[in-house]
Amino acid sequence: MSAPDRSLPVAVFDSGVGGLTVLHECLVSLPHEDFLYLGDTARFPYGDRASAQLAEFARELSGILLDRGAKLLVVACNSATAAALPALRDELERVVPVVAVVGPESRLAASATANGKVGLIATPATVNSGAYAAALAQAAPQAELHAVASAELAPLIQEGGDVDHRTLACVEGACRPLKQARVDTVILGCTHYPLVRPVLQRELGRQVTIVSSGEAIAAEVGARLDEAGLSNDEDRRGDYRFLATGDPDQFRRIGTRFLQLPIGEVEHVEVATAGPGRRAA
């Protein structure tokens, strides 16, 4: 199959607006590239869904983006990556390069830890998948992963309000076992979490290194585009566009806080109904 046109955008999808933290880093690092972002806000949150259902969602969202034209696909959702990345790569890498979270953060954490004790805060679906445990074991076989599952933190952040006592209590509860384990590095295993990074840092302490996906993904996207000969000319100014499966106005209102850049028109796209498959946290 012929290589994609380098003038096409980089496509990004996430369960909601959390992946905009990844998109922000991509826009800063690769300002000459175009991006198309799809937020599956109608079916958010993903964190307590069954793995098979998440894989179906990932295939559907990938298909929507590739039908519109894309030269590289970024899976910015940790839960979807944990459930579907091997299958997506098997099915799509002959068409476009596929970049995802989990691996890049695990490699960063492996290089950052001094005592070999790495913490992870993520959704139940991500923790239960074992994806981070496998990725960290590959990057640092002697390291210990201490994982904490939180079903509540991402939805609280997605609400878009001020940080309140509920958020503080949720962060404190998630960090408590990590502090007891004396981790020196913590992976933020959900793209929503960078929005409360100062709260997490305060709770964990200044001595703990926090690793998130944005910068690592941006670097990998740039490298993969260069390897494939798909990079745009660096003297151009890139554009970015948005699709949402839920309410476009709500996406724009909440998403601006995550992206930290203006969000213009948001196009609504239809997806299959949520269907069965929710799993208790």
Catalytic center residues:
77, 190
- Under 8 Å CB-to-CB from 235, ≥6 apart: which residues? 32
**Displacement of CA 274 from its chain's centroid (Å):** 20
